[in-house]
Amino acid sequence: MSSSDQEDHDEDAPLFRHPTRPSAVGEVPVSQSLIKAASNVCFSFFVLAVLAVTVVAVTYQPPDPWLQSSAAITTSLARVLPNSSFLLPDDSLLPTGEDFPSPSTAPGAAAAAQRDSADQAATSTANNANATAGACDPDAPLNCTDPRVLAAVKAFNAKAFFRKSIVFLSYEAPVPGPKPGQCDVAWRFRNRREKSWRRYRDYRRFELTPGDGCALDVTKVGKFRSGKNAARPPRPKGPKKPRVAPPPVDAEINDTIPLVGSEAEFRRGKYLYYMRGGDHCKSMNQFIWSFLCGLGEAKFLNRTFVMDLNMCLSGAHTADGKDVDGKDFRYYFDFEHLKESVSLVEKGDFLKDWRRWDKKKGPGRISVRKVPTYKVTPMQLKKDKSNIIWRQFDGHEPENYWYRVCEGRAAKVIQRPWYAIWKSKRLMNIVTEIAGRMDWDYDGLHVVRGWKAMNKKMYPNLDADTSPDAIVDKVTKLIKPWRNLYIATNEPFYNYFDKLRSHYHVHLLDDYKELWSNTSEWHNETTAINNGKYVPFDAYMKVIVDTEVFYRSKAKVETFNNLTRDCKDGINTCNL
């Protein structure tokens, strides 16, 4: 048989298969092919997932802390309209740096702790001296300079304020009260619920009588700041002087404007100047978000920020809904803490010095880099040697918002210095006064009504759930009867909560109007800032005080956690 015949025979002949052997090589069951393909797909997805997690872990930059968590800032500040303008505020207070930093990381905390340690060491020394004092005469009239007076006051305060979040830092020497047996004592303290290291002052009137042995017993104590003789150092005796305005209640406040010392110092300096943009007269949320962007860029560029103290209060924060220009930054925020935390100069003085010392021609000219658009990133300006980097925001909204500088790639390198923004201590002194008058022993109720209660589509239950009867029914189950109850609310009708007065000692912000009246310390201090002109206590100031007093309460009843079934940001947003 020829070879060709053999090949034809082989092609036509059936293949021989052994009954116990598998099929020919290359034939794989369909089920095994499907399993193998699924395994390959799953493994590919696993590799991609690992790669994605690795990239995120390497490049992730956490957002700036705001209030308790990053979710808070994502919810409240990342929600923007199509024109990149922030949503209207939700009747809540904008948190600042003092609401989240721990004392160990707050700027100035080490210095404050050192001062407090020194005060406590001096107090301990005084106590030791008291223990070794000579014999006492129980029938002798009370002498307020007797070390036993201060020892008795300290012991009383330690017991009375043990559960009231008050930390006593230092005491001043007792002074005689208006009657025999009375002494006025002043001290400095801080509140554990306030995370900043600011210190406050209290002075009270004590009545003391001899006790067992040589000790003195406190029989009666005045209310918050009742010891007027210890309020301020006594005036020196001598001929009468012309009457002047009383000094501020907190002499430690120093919010004077820093000045550039000389022409040489000005020329050596490096400045970042933001021209006023579209953020002016926007909500306080957007103002702070943009302002901190500018401070963050100045810090990144190692430059001094040129700051405009003139603010415009948005109609979202005013009683009549109209924007009010000409507000001073120092009315709302702690300028002293700000200038200690970051390098800055005031805009008006800066522009005067610039015009005065700039040579229009020749080698003495101050170099300026004008930046017409936010699209020039901070990274591109990092090596610029100009004396002044002048960012101009002349475009239309939203191209002229300051915070656009910190978007995109810049968001990974610019860290907003939240620690630099604290609320005004003048306003916080009012908060302390109100809480002190309730002896730091009160519960809080926060009732949000206003436009939210009228918007039945977004908040279908809020109006009914915050009616006077519904509030009484809910609150009486959560707070013990006849407690001091402070109500923070945007409800304009003062008598709206009268039904609670049958169960509690009710306190509202309007009960303390004298604290910002034309005879108050706050009035004297703010008019001094405003060149002697009256400063109205506006709606945003009231929100700051109202909310901060509520924060310092013990038991807290909140609208969207306790009173209503609705979500804080409207229907179907409870889990966002």
Q: By the 8 A CB rule, do 499 and 469 touch? A: yes
pLDDT given at position 511 = 97
**Could you give the CA distance from residue 438 to residue 109 in angstroms, rounded to a whole number?**
28
**Could you give the CA distance from residue 43 to residue 392 in angstroms, rounded to a whole number?**
52
pLDDT given at position 251 = 65
- The DSSP letter of residue 322 is -
pLDDT given at position 71 = 38
Domain positions in the chain: 109-230, 254-420, 425-563
**How many degrees, rounded to 5, is the angle at CA 545 between CA 551 and CA 524?**
145
**Could you give the CA distance from residue 317 to residue 332 in angstroms, rounded to a whole number?**
12
**Could you give the CA distance from residue 377 to residue 213 in angstroms, rounded to a whole number?**
75
User: Phi and psi (nearest 5°) for 168?
Assistant: -85, 130
- Cβ-Cβ contacts under 8 Å for 316 (sequence gap 6 or more): 88, 89, 283, 284
CA-atom Rg of the chain in angstroms: 34
- Cβ-Cβ contacts under 8 Å for 452 (sequence gap 6 or more): 90, 91, 458, 459, 462
pLDDT given at position 334 = 93
Q: By the 8 A CB rule, do 447 and 441 touch? A: no
- Cβ-Cβ contacts under 8 Å for 286 (sequence gap 6 or more): 85, 86, 279, 401, 403
**Could you give the CA distance from residue 523 to residue 429 in angstroms, rounded to a whole number?**
12
Both tokens of residue 244? 């002047």
Q: Is 554 exposed, middle or buried (0-12, 13-18, 19+ CB in 10 A)?
A: middle
Q: By the 8 A CB rule, do 297 and 378 touch? A: yes
- Cβ-Cβ contacts under 8 Å for 81 (sequence gap 6 or more): 87
Q: By the 8 A CB rule, do 423 and 96 touch? A: yes
Both tokens of residue 440? 């730091």
Among the listed residues 183, 187, 149, 151, the one whose alpha carbon sits nearest the alpha carbon of residue 168: 187
**Could you give the CA distance from residue 257 to residue 252 in angstroms, rounded to a whole number?**
15
Q: By the 8 A CB rule, do 301 and 378 touch? A: yes
pLDDT given at position 431 = 95
pLDDT given at position 514 = 95
Among the listed residues 462, 445, 446, 450, the one whose alpha carbon sits nearest the alpha carbon of residue 570: 462
Q: By the 8 A CB rule, do 217 and 208 touch? A: yes
Both tokens of residue 395? 């475009």
pLDDT given at position 198 = 80
Amino acid, single-letter form, for residue 146: D
220 bridge partner residues: 207
Q: By the 8 A CB rule, do 518 and 475 touch? A: no
For 254-420, CATH gives: 3.40.50
**Could you give the CA distance from residue 45 to residue 36 in angstroms, rounded to a whole number?**
14
Amino acid, single-letter form, for residue 43: F
Could you read off the pLDDT tens digit of each residue along the chain, which spans 576 residues? 444 444 444 444 444 444 444 444 456 576 677 777 777 777 777 778 877 766 655 444 444 433 343 334 434 454 443 334 444 444 556 667 676 544 444 444 444 544 444 444 444 444 444 444 446 777 788 899 999 999 999 999 998 887 788 889 999 999 999 999 999 999 998 887 777 778 888 999 999 998 887 889 999 999 888 999 998 654 444 444 444 444 444 567 888 888 877 888 898 899 999 999 999 999 998 999 999 999 999 999 999 999 999 999 998 888 788 999 999 999 999 999 999 999 999 999 999 999 888 876 666 788 999 999 999 999 999 999 999 999 999 888 889 999 999 999 999 999 999 999 999 999 999 999 999 999 899 999 999 998 899 999 999 999 999 999 999 999 999 999 999 999 999 999 999 999 999 999 999 999 999 999 999 989 999 999 999 999 999 999 999 999 999 999 999 999 998 999 999 888 888 876
